[in-house]
Structure 1
């Protein structure tokens, strides 16, 4: 992609971090009216044209030249252009809802230079898997697919659970033959999807059910697209049916329910995962008092592992530990509040979070995976300048969907 394409892709990617964007149409490409709708006043735009309408790069870019090997935002934009982008986003986009919804009137965005650097690093992490496509398009597309996929998964899960119940109505020999036939049926379906070049979403089966891993799926999708002819990739609102892309996940769930086998891939026996298991064990020993504290809050061991995984920047996801997809700066702060992490450090370690430096205890929880969130902003959240309850309903949804933990089990909001 050229410089202009990369800038509008990154700008759109950045705006996706704002969940209450008033100009929702800028980041809601899939919300366009159908071109066959008689009430539609325009034809559906291709993605690049669509985001070009919402982001005027002529007001941001001074020079079309840039370093093609992007390692930092400064390789893409000059200092003046970075300021142009920052001012453009903050002046042209607002967030918030009317007073009736309890969020107050819309306000201009408050992106800082450090926010742009942090978000660009996230963008680069994805870009290293594919430099030739609009990452923001596939991120948004996957969010749309995920919504429909979750409903489809629930229907298919019940079918598999019914198979599990049905086998118990047969004698041992027939029951064994029955479940083997069902396994082969699902396996043939999976092989057919693979042969038809259907991308397979990532996730795993655990004691809480079937987990759809958004982050791994996005990375895998970008890698999958590297096999395609980029000149033939078309960015439309009409994406292919997703059902066949769930065959691997459903096969894993069936294997787990009928044969009690935990996840086909990324199992604990691989060398890398053995090292991760040791690392997690070491982390739990290091924070033993926190582990005990969380258990007093009625979190079971697997849930505590998930909490530690998120605190460690999803370091242990390859061990089939759930995480929250796309957790942003304020959500991570709210997560630490809701899961009693702030309370633990205050009451058990005598940490005063009104002091800026002390946010290292949550942002540097794992020294090898330091979170580059703003301590200054966190101090504001703590002091109530920007209430930590803002946007918390959306986080509740993610916790209940991704972690399968209900809000009633979390720290109450005062």
Structure 2
């Protein structure tokens, strides 16, 4: 978008000379006596406003316009989404949007730059989201010790793990005299995964039989977070497939990106794939097994307000929590009682927060395998079947971006080019160059 710039250069001024960030014209240039408007033609950016925080917090900088400054140009990027780091590839947080433009100013005007924080990584504790003009989506509290279904599971031995997918990046912004004129949306968080399954333990069971199968998922490519900007801002969707049962697996969907001040929808409900072709895996409750399988839609991002007086909205969708669980009746063996908990990927903040990713979980068992294990001596054995409990998340959507076309000219909203990085945050950026007359 491009709006007419206000004329602030006269022929006389140019003949006298000017002290620009980069010279507009040479002394010999011919200038029309009644030029209607002349725009700043800048070179590189002179001032960078850094955000070196490691915890996702934002940084705010203010510049008061002096008498000689007549315009400034800027470029801002939103914080990138947090990334997955584990046994699979992918799950990279989306890059924050890049927004640039130029604005005419007067003496005494106050320019404010909000430089967003990047989203936090995947891990066993919840990462805070990237903060900014609008924040990335957050996680709710831990389920271990608080959720009634998990508490019942903890009444007997079993494998139990709770993990948190990454969080979305915050939105960067430029304000002129307290009014927002540009917003660069934060990137959506990369997806996440958590799996537990019965494996053959050779230390207690002897050599692994050739026909033994487990509910192990082949590590694939986890969904990436949505990239902020002018392109597709939705979080990624993907499938996880069982290693020993090709074709059978789970489907997860990404959250939608925010746009035009409206929050993006959460990722659509996923589910199982190709279940009709595989009869030896069951997720059903019966006399021997109690299971929990969930197909959860993501959370919608918040709508945004341009005049929120510190309450802008535009927060990314929060992570939904899924439980995959299987209990083997009357068995105290940890290997056949499993529970996986995953807090899903959250959306990026912006002019309309991105939606969070959907979460799909499974608690299942293999129906055509039965093995024995001596537990209390050579005359006492127990039979068991392999089980598995898993939970996966699609990627979070990116936050929306904005430019006030009534004040900003030579503006551009483009897709970000700096995605998240496993194990660390990638914060937003801001840079500017002032246009001064001598």
State the TM bucket, normalised to the shorter chain: under 0.3
Instruction: Report the TM-score, using the length of structure 2 for normalisation.
Output: 0.19
Largest Rg, 1 or 2: 2
Q: Identify which of structures 1 and 2 has the higher relative contact order when contacts are C-alpha pairs closer than 8 Å and 6+ apart.
A: 2
The answer to which structure has the higher helix fraction is: 1
TM-score normalised per structure 1: 0.19
Q: More strand per residue: 1 or 2?
A: 2
